């Protein structure tokens, strides 16, 4: 019994006590709960990583072994009116360095190519083969600025994109810029390219054809060779621009062909820094459309137009040239009297233009009054933008009594009116505006918007500025200004050799005598010179000439400005003559 007891006691006691500890100890339950929670968390985390965020992490994994590189589209080519390319796209590369887009040619990029540098992007380098000769027309390209990125115009652009900065490159940026492609590369852990996985080809930009005549552009630039600062514009009567030159010029390749590019031999600037640092001569300023100057006597044809249109004068109106006018303590003289001590006698509107007689236009301005002068000039778009398809066109200054009161804080005086009548004083215009009002005279009072895009339809922006009689009087005065007895002596009896010019007895005349030949033609030109004082009147004046030819059926309109160079007849007229010789000899 003892054994049985003992066995029953130990066995029974041990079994009950053990069972009670396994099922009743709180720490055991806690262990099970913790184990269950940890397992659940691991399962949920795995589900989150593999299912919910699986695509994201797979993309990260792919990016660790792949790289997308842009293939930049070639910009559209710009052609002149005859189909001659004015820019070229050359194979090149770009790399982003310190958040700056750096352009590289093949030689510069070769070390990076040999090392399979996947930061190198295929690009085209923009080459301007005519360098300084067309720089202000074409402009150049450069990296987009933070300010430009904020513009809705560039909403699709990225911070390292290159865009047109000036000229036609900027005006037609949206057409010239193509659609970039991209290349997918496989890379190793160090970033070295292993192979290409595929690519989307870029789409080149759209080509643009201009009204510009390359040959005439080059000849115009050559004619301006000795002018340090100035501008020249040659246009057709319908507003098409054939050539436009601004001096000083610059080589736009400095901005586009990489750091190792050497400027052309004709360029005054060898690097970008020298272009940007010349604040005195401002080579980036397009003086033809952005420079403002007193137009001098070229404005007399606008004053004459206003007086004839308002019936203040007619062909019978005359003024006696006294050589000098005195108003209180002030005197206002005619250039002929000041320079030669002589007068022009009785002067009508034709003779007034022919001789550029200041006394006539002093008195004519007095008869018109400041407000009528301003109104008449405004009809020719003086003081307004003409809407040329280049950025940066200036409006100039069209003064009036209220303008002077607001801007100068003084009233208007008779002397101000005298100065106004001869294109001096507060009046400021661009060479483009002078060319435009000359075009309007040649068109018998119709003004067309100046433009470069060949496909652009002609746009008439002002009509009936002159009646037929007024137009004929002004044209006659301009013809006589370019003939013996006038003031534009370099254009007296202007001749060229071109047998294709048909002699009609009005525009193209037969040349007889020793200077004549079967090929020689005399061309009748209508012109107006100008000599404009500015700032310090003791300095050298601006020289102007503006003209259309032939006089009775205009084919071109030419305007030349030479800053601080002297008299219009001595400086600007010889330049215009060279331009005419090139145009009509061809």
HEC string for 493-546 = CCEEECCCCCCCCCCEEECCCCCCCCCEEEECCEEEEEEECCCCCCCCCEEEEE
* Tally of CA atoms within 13 A in the half-sphere of 389 that contains its CB: 23
The pLDDT assigned to 46 comes to 66
The pLDDT assigned to 60 comes to 45
The pLDDT assigned to 150 comes to 92
Is the model's pLDDT at 238 over the cut of 60?
A: yes
pLDDT category of residue 17 using cuts at 50, 70 and 90:
very low
Q: 15-19, 311-315, 458-462 — which is least confidently predicted? A: 15-19
Is the model's pLDDT at 531 over the cut of 90?
A: yes
Q: 106-120, 392-406, 509-523, 566-580 — which is least confidently predicted? A: 106-120
CB contact at 8 A, 350 and 301: no
What percentage of the chain reaches a pLDDT higher than 90?
70
Pick from 4-18, 83-97, 483-497 the range whose average pLDDT is largest: 483-497
Q: What are phi and psi of 501, to 5 degrees?
A: -80, 115
- Dihedral sign (CA 255, 259, 260, 266): positive
- Which runs of E-coded beta strand occur in 192-318? 193-200, 208-209, 230-235, 241-247
Quick one: how many helices (H) and strands (E) in the chain? 22, 24
Is the model's pLDDT at 172 over the cut of 60?
A: yes
The pLDDT assigned to 536 comes to 66
Is the model's pLDDT at 15 over the cut of 60?
A: no
Question: Which helix (H) or strand (E) segment is 547 a member of?
Answer: strand 542-549
Q: Which residues contact 469 (CB under 8 A, 6 or more apart)?
A: 308, 315
Is the model's pLDDT at 23 over the cut of 60?
A: no
Pick from 175-179, 187-191, 254-258, 434-438 the range whose average pLDDT is largest: 434-438
Domains of the chain: 67-210 (3.90.1310.10), 233-241+288-585 (3.40.710.10)
Question: What tokens were used for 226?
Answer: 């000795």
For the segment 500-522, the average pLDDT, to the nearest whole number, is 88
- Which runs of E-coded beta strand occur in 218-294? 230-235, 241-247
Q: 50-54, 55-59, 399-403, 434-438 — which is least confidently predicted? A: 55-59
Q: 153-162, 222-231, 467-476 — which is least confidently predicted? A: 153-162
The pLDDT assigned to 116 comes to 65
CB contact at 8 A, 70 and 180: yes
Give rounded-to-5 percent helix, strand, coil for the chain.
40, 20, 40
Q: pLDDT higher for 427 or 515?
A: 427
Is the model's pLDDT at 256 over the cut of 50?
A: yes
Which residue has tokens 């074409």? 138
The pLDDT assigned to 473 comes to 98
Is the model's pLDDT at 8 over the cut of 60?
A: no
The pLDDT assigned to 9 comes to 36
Q: What are phi and psi of 34, to 5 degrees?
A: -60, -45
Mean predicted lDDT score pLDDT of the chain = 89
Distance between CA atoms of residues 138 and 161, nearest Å: 19
User: Do strands 141-143 and 181-187 pair parallel, antiparallel, or not at all (unpaired)?
Assistant: unpaired
**One-letter-per-residue 3-state SS of 21-38:** HHHHCHHHHHHHHHHHHH
The pLDDT assigned to 49 comes to 58
């Amino acid at each position: 019994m003892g054994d049985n007891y003992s066995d029953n006691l130990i066995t029974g006691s041990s079994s009950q006590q053990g069972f009670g500890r396994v099922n009743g100890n709180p720490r055991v339950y806690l262990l099970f709960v913790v184990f269950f929670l940890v397992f659940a968390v691991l399962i949920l985390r795995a589900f989150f990583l593999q299912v919910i965020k699986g695509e994201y992490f797979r993309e990260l994994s792919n990016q660790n072994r792949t790289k997308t590189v842009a293939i930049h589209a070639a910009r559209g080519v710009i052609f002149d009116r005859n189909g001659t390319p004015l820019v070229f796209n050359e194979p090149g590369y770009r790399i982003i360095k310190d958040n700056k887009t750096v352009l590289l040619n093949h030689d510069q990029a070769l070390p990076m190519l040999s090392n399979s540098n996947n930061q190198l992007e295929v690009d085209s380098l923009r080459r301007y083969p005519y360098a300084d000769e067309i720089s202000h027309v074409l402009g150049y390209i450069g990296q987009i600025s933070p300010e430009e990125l904020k513009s809705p115009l560039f909403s699709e652009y990225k911070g390292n994109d290159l865009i047109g900065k000036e000229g036609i490159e900027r005006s037609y940026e949206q057409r010239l810029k193509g659609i970039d492609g991209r290349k997918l590369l496989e890379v190793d852990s160090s970033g070295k390219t292993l192979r290409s996985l595929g690519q989307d080809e870029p789409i080149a930009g759209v080509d643009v054809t201009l009204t510009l005549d390359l040959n005439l552009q080059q000849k115009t630039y050559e004619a301006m060779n000795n002018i340090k600062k100035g501008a020249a514009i040659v246009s057709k009567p319908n507003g098409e621009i054939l050539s436009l030159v601004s001096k000083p010029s610059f080589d736009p390749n400095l901005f586009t062909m990489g750091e190792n590019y050497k400027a052309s031999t004709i360029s005054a600037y060898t690097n970008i820094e020298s272009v940007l640092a010349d604040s005195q001569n401002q080579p980036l300023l397009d003086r033809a459309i952005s420079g403002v100057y007193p137009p001098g006597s070229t404005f007399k044809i606008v004053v004459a137009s206003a007086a004839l249109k308002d019936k203040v004068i007619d062909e019978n109106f005359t003024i006696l040239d006294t050589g000098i006018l005195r108003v209180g303590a002030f005197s206002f003289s005619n250039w002929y009297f000041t320079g030669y001590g002589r007068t022009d006698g009785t002067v009508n509107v034709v003779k007034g233009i022919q001789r550029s007689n200041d006394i006539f236009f002093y008195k004519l301005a007095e008869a018109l009054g400041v407000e009528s002068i301003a109104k008449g000039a405004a009809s020719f778009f003086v003081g307004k933008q003409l809407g040329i398809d280049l950025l940066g066109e200036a409006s100039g200054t069209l003064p009036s009594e209220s303008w002077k009161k607001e801007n100068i804080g003084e009233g208007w005086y008779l002397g101000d009116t005298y100065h106004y009548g001869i294109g001096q004083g507060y009046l400021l215009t661009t060479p483009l505006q002078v060319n435009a009002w000359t075009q309007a005279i040649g068109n018998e009072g119709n003004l067309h918007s100046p433009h470069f895009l060949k496909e652009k339809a002609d746009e008439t922006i002002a009509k009936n500025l002159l009646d037929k009689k007024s137009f004929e009087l002004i044209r006659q005065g301009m013809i006589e200004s370019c003939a013996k007895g006038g003031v534009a002596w370099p254009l007296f009896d202007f001749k060229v050799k071109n047998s294709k010019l048909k002699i009609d007895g009005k525009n193209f005349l037969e040349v007889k005598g020793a200077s004549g030949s079967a090929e020689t033609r005399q061309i009748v030109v209508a012109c107006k010179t100008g000599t404009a004082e500015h700032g310090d009147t003791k300095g050298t004046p601006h020289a102007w000439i503006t003209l259309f030819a032939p006089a009775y059926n205009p084919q071109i309109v030419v305007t030349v400005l030479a800053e601080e160079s002297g008299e219009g007849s001595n400086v600007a007229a010889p330049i215009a003559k060279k331009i005419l010789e090139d145009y009509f000899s061809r």
